[in-house]
């Protein structure tokens, strides 16, 4: 996966962008495209945002819409179908690419994990309609308190898997920093076996983030004190490296239902999505939270990661 300075991001993207998708957020890094991508190279754009965060995101949304003459999509955090519908709508009304297949560029930095996975699934199903699908991710140092109060845990649209109630469950958690969220998922899924991963040294955004991630994971494991937990480290900067690792872990327990809970950064979320798409029996679950730390969620860093997605 290619990394670059944020100011050099534009050079790492296609010269012409046919479809550009970005999610307006309360995080400053949602404005990366506003600051560093020339609007002239973007043929069509969609700006998504959640109505639940309207007051905190509308200024950023307006900036993006104005710069890219983008279509605005309002999503409902409580109804994941609104994400699927918005994606379907955007690609269906902007489909006048007759000469050659269009490319797609997605700023994945500030999509929620659920919306990102749904978008990814749509792109995977319709991959033959597109030339290249490129994502970029601007890294950030995230706050200690990202969210609180789990409202519900559900499968992500497009990743319901094929769960056999008679088989035991293997839960793979890519743990981030949200303790309550991870704990609630483990408690609700009640897995018979847990594989819990965190960013490895040299495979994370930086050493400080890696250390925080490791401490958090150890705390979570301590809570469960079970024999049936396996810890692993993984990449948070390379989609395909983690995807392959996940596939290896999925097959490590035969005869189990597999559920993945991606709770770390968006790069690892995409890896989870790709691994599950290649193994349709695998389910991805998502914990919807009641509150997000909209004031102090993250501080954008100066590195971007860019990748052309390959769907098998």
Partner 1 sequence: MNPFSVKTPETLTPDAIASLFIDVLSDFPRLLSPEHTFLHGARGTGKSMMFRYLEPQVQLAANNVASSSELKYFAVHMPIKSANYALSELERLDGAPYFLMAEHFLVMSSAIHILSSLKSLINENGCLDESDIRQFYRNVVGLLDDSGVSNIPEALEKDDSFLNELSRLFERERANAKRYIAKLAFTEESIPYDDALLDYEEFFLPFVRYVRGLCVSPNGPIYLMLDDADNLPIRMQNIINGWVSYRSTNDVCLKISTQQKYKTWRTSQGVLIESSHDFSEIDISAVYTSKHFSHYYERVEQIVKRRLEVSGFLDMEPLAFFPEDQKQVEGLEKIKKQIAENWDAGNGVSSRKSDDITRYKTSEYMKYLASIKKTNTYSYSGFRSLVDISSGMIRYFLESAARMYSELEAINGSETINFIPTEIQDRVIYKWSEEYVLEEFDRLRKDETNINADNLNKVEKLKRLINAIGQTFQIKLLSSDSERRFISFMLSDYPGKEEQEVLDLAVEWGYLSTKTIARKEGVGRNILYVLNRRLAPYFKLDPSGYASHMSIRPEHLSLAINNPSEFVRARLEKKTNSSRTQQSEMDI
What residue ranges bind partner 1 (CB under 8 A)? 79-81, 84-85, 87-88, 121-122, 125, 145, 147-149, 152-158, 160-163, 165-166, 168-169, 179-180, 187-190, 192, 219, 222-223, 225-227, 257, 259, 283, 285, 291, 293, 295-296
CB of 68 or CB of 179, closer to partner 1: 179
Please give the order of strands across the beta sheet that includes 257-262.
147-155, 283-292, 257-262, 169-174, 193-199, 229-234
C-beta of 172: minimal distance to partner 1 in Å?
Answer: 12
Query: Can you tell me the distance from the alpha carbon of 111 to that of 212, in angstroms, rounded to the nearest whole number?
Result: 23
HSE-up (13 A, CA, CB side) for residue 46: 24
Please name the residue that has the structure tokens 């990661």.
Answer: 305
Cα gap 242→251, rounded to integer Å: 14
* Nearer to partner 1 (CB atom), residue 62 or residue 162: 162
Q: Residue 292 Cβ, how far from partner 1 at the closest point, in Å?
A: 10
Burial class (CB in 10 A: 0-12, 13-18, 19+), 203: middle
Question: What tokens appear for 92 in the block?
Answer: 């269906």
Of the candidates 292, 285, 238, the residue with the CA atom closest to the CA atom of residue 57: 292
Residues 6+ apart with CB under 8 A from 281: 161, 162, 257, 258
Provide the minimum distance between the beta carbon of 155 and partner 1 in the complex, in angstroms, as a whole number: 5
Nearer to partner 1, 33 or 147 (CB): 147
Of 29 and 121, the one with the shorter C-beta distance to partner 1 is 121
Strands in 147-248 per DSSP E: 147-155, 169-174, 193-199, 229-234
Minimum CB separation from partner 1 for residue 283, in Å? 5
Shortest reach from residue 166's CB to partner 1, in Å:
7
**CB nearer partner 1, residue 15 or residue 225:** 225
For partner 1, which is the closer residue by CB, 148 or 230? 148
Smallest gap, in angstroms, from Cβ of residue 130 to partner 1? 15
Residues in the chain: 312
């Amino acid at each position: 996966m290619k990394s670059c300075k944020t100011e050099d991001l534009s050079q790492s993207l296609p010269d012409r962008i046919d479809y550009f998708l970005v999610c307006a957020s309360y995080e400053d890094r949602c404005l990366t495209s506003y600051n560093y991508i020339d609007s002239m190279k973007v043929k069509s754009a969609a700006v998504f945002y959640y109505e639940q965060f309207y007051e905190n995101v509308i200024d950023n949304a307006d900036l993006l819409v104005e710069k890219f003459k983008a279509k605005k999509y309002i999503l409902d955090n409580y109804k994941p179908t609104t994400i699927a519908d918005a994606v379907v709508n955007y690609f269906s009304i902007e489909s006048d690419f007759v000469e050659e297949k269009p490319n797609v560029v997605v700023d994945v930095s500030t999509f929620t994990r659920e919306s990102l996975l749904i978008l990814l699934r749509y792109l995977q199903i319709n991959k033959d309609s597109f030339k290249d699908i490129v994502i970029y991710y601007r890294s950030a140092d995230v706050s200690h308190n990202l969210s609180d109060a789990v409202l519900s845990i559900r499968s992500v649209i497009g990743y319901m898997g094929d769960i056999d109630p008679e088989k035991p469950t293997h839960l793979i958690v890519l743990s981030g920093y949200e303790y309550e969220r991870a704990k609630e998922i483990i408690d609700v899924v009640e897995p018979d076996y847990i594989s819990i991963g965190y960013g490895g040294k040299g495979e994370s955004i930086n050493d400080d983030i890696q250390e925080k991630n490791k401490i958090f994971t150890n705390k979570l494991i301590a809570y469960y004190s079970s024999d049936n937990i396996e810890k692993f480290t993984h990449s948070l900067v390379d989609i395909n490296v983690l995807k392959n690792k996940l596939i290896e872990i999925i097959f490590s327990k035969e005869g189990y239902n597999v559920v993945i809970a991606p709770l770390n950064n968006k790069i690892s979320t995409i890896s989870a999505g790709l691994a599950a798409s290649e193994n349709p029996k695998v389910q991805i679950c998502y914990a919807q939270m009641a509150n997000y730390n909209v004031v102090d969620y993250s501080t954008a860093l100066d590195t971007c990661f860019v990748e052309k997605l390959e769907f098998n």
